[in-house]
């Protein structure tokens, strides 16, 4: 699946929502790296460089990417040339192999050179691989276009305005292609392709957007009541907050050793976990946050289970179960609406107390 449409890349027209979706895909994939495969357009004359092309394609496959070639396709009319241009448009990198033939032409320019110039014009990173000057001296005469020597030289000079490497035989070419492409990918990372089943779906993106909107709404609500200085905490919420303060974390979870810090109560623990619970998180995410904050806890998994049970008993947390691809049951822990309100009130009380001190 191609990613990145609508973020400045040349792609078919997309709706505003699709553009947001694609941009969010790139953002998420940069945070959580996945196996991205690059599409690499391989250009050259065909008959004289079959072994070299085969070596190049194998080298690209061996480093885990996708080679695309059109040199065997005779672009004899505009429609076919448009087809070639589309293949270059959707490629991440462009490789050209130059021997001693200039190739078939249209209006005095070879299709290989037209492809090269088009890739450069479209901003596709290019890498040229030119026959080594020493190898040229012993190159088979049946693989040389003597009548087009000047054009070959001019094309070589054009290629040398960008990244070029020189090769002597197919094996040497394959090694240089692999090294040059790895360096080019490091210097100029591109969009690439990923498996469709690991890219966040529209449903997931909608959920993220909804959570983001909910957060903005709550923040606006809090700012409004705070600015008016009229925040009134309901009596039942005050009672619940006091109850959470009375329950120490060490009474709920197993510990490795006595903590060298003040033992947090259940309210403090809830506020600490709010960042993961407000958006909905799996056990491992909540446990990771918990262990990072409180190193004295013995087992993150069971600690999360115990804390979740306590919070659920106060109607602050809901647990959703779902089936994983491995046919196991996983859980998502999410604050209830009441839980989010309680967190907001508790944070306000803490800020008030800090101001009074």
Q: Domain locations in the chain?
A: 34-196, 232-356
Output the pLDDT for position 116.
96
Chain segment 98-107, per-residue pLDDT in tens: 999 999 898 9
Model pLDDT for residues 300-320, shown as the tens digit of each residue? 888 899 999 999 999 999 998
- Separation of alpha carbons 101 and 88, rounded Å: 22
pLDDT of 18 higher than 80: no
Segment among 161-165, 172-176, 298-302 with least mean pLDDT? 298-302
Give CA angle at 61 (4, 50), nearest 5°. 115
* Residue pLDDT, tens place only, 220-248: 776 766 555 556 788 889 999 999 999 99
Q: How far apart are CA 141 and CA 153, in angstroms?
A: 16
In this prediction, residue 330 carries a pLDDT of 81
| Topology classification of domain 34-196 | Rossmann fold (3.40.50)
Place of tokens 């070879």: 110
User: Does the pLDDT at position 356 exceed 80?
Assistant: no
108 CB-contact burial (10 Å; exposed 0-12 / middle 13-18 / buried 19+)? exposed
Q: Which of 47, 45, 50, 48 is nearest to 71 (CA)?
A: 45
One fold for both 34-196 and 232-356? no
Bridge-based pairing of strands 329-335 and 281-282 is antiparallel
Segment among 81-95, 109-123, 211-225, 328-342 with least mean pLDDT: 211-225
Asked whether residue 138 carries a pLDDT value surpassing 80, the answer given is yes
Contact residues for 322 (Cβ-Cβ < 8 A; gap 6+): 329, 330, 331, 332
∠ Cα 106 112 114 (to 5°) = 60
| pTM as predicted | 0.51
Residues forming beta bridges with residue 67, ordered by sequence position: 40
Look at residue 77 and tell me whether its pLDDT is greater than 60.
Answer: no
pLDDT for res 207: 67
Report the pLDDT value the prediction gives residue 212, as an integer from 0 to 100: 73
Averaged over 335-351, what is the pLDDT? 90
Write down the CATH number for the domain with range 232-356: 1.10.10.10
Q: What is the pLDDT of residues 277-304, one digit of tens each?
A: 988 888 888 888 888 888 888 888 888 9
Which of 127, 105, 132, 104 shows the shortest CA–CA distance to 116?
Answer: 127
First to last CA, the chain: 57
- pLDDT for 8: 40
Report the chain's mean pLDDT, rounded to a whole number.
Answer: 83
Find the range with the poorest average confidence among 105-114, 152-161, 315-324.
315-324
Mean pLDDT of 38-65: 93
pLDDT surpasses 80 at 205: no
Q: 3-state SS of 135-172?
A: HHHCCCHHHECHHHHHHHHHHHHHHCCCCEEEECCHHH
In terms of Cα–Cα distance, which of 132, 212, 210, 205 is closest to 167? 132
Band of pLDDT at residue 74, cut at 50, 70 and 90: low
Per-residue pLDDT at 128 exceeds 90:
yes
Instruction: Kindly tell me if the per-residue pLDDT of 10 is higher than 50.
Output: no
Identify the pLDDT of residue 143.
95
Euclidean distance between CA atoms 233 and 235, whole angstroms: 6
φ and ψ of 168, to 5 deg: -115, -30
The pLDDT of residue 73 is above 80: no
Is residue 9 over pLDDT 50?
no
Q: Which residue has the higher pLDDT, 212 or 186?
A: 186
**Contact call for residues 115 and 70 (beta carbons, < 8 A):** yes
Percent of the chain with pLDDT over 90: 47
* Cα-based distances in Å from 242 to 136, 185, 248, 294: 86, 57, 12, 22
């Amino acid at each position: 699946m191609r990613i990145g449409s609508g973020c400045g890349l040349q792609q078919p027209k997309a709706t505003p929502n699709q553009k947001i979706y694609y941009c969010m895909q790139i953002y998420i994939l940069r945070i959580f790296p996945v196996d991205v495969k690059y599409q690499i357009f391989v250009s050259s004359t065909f008959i004289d460089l079959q072994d070299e092309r085969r070596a190049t394609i194998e080298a690209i496959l061996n480093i885990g990417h996708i080679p695309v070639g059109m040199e065997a396709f005779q672009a004899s009319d505009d429609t076919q040339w448009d087809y070639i241009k589309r293949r270059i448009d959707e490629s991440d990198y462009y490789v050209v192999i130059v021997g001693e033939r200039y190739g078939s032409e249209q209006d005095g320019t070879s299709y290989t050179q037209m492809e090269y110039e088009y890739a450069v014009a479209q901003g596709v990173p290019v890498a040229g691989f030119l026959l080594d000057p020493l190898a040229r001296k012993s190159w088979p005469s049946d693989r040389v276009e003597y009548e087009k020597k000047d054009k070959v030289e001019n094309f070589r000079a054009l290629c040398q305005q960008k990244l070029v490497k020189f090769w002597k035989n197919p094996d040497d070419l394959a090694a240089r292609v692999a090294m040059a492409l790895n360096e080019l990918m490091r210097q100029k990372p591109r969009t690439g392709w990923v498996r469709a089943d690991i890219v966040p779906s529209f449903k997931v993106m909608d959920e993220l957007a909804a959570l983001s909107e909910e957060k903005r709404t709550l923040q606006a609500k809090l700012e409004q009541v705070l600015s008016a200085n009229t925040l009134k905490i309901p009596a039942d919420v005050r009672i619940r907050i006091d109850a959470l303060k009375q329950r120490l974390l060490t009474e709920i979870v197993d510990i490795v050793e006595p903590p060298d810090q003040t033992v947090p109560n259940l309210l403090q623990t809830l506020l600490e976990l709010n960042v993961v619970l407000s958006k909905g998180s799996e056990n491992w995410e909540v446990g990771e946050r918990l262990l990072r904050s409180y190193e004295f806890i013995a087992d993150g998994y069971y600690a999360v289970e115990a804390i979740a049970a306590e919070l659920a008993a106060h109607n602050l947390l809901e647990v959703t179960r779902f089936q994983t691809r491995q046919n196991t049951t996983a859980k998502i822990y999410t604050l209830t609406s009441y839980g989010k309100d309680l967190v907001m009130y508790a944070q306000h009380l803490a800020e008030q107390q800090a101001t009074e001190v």
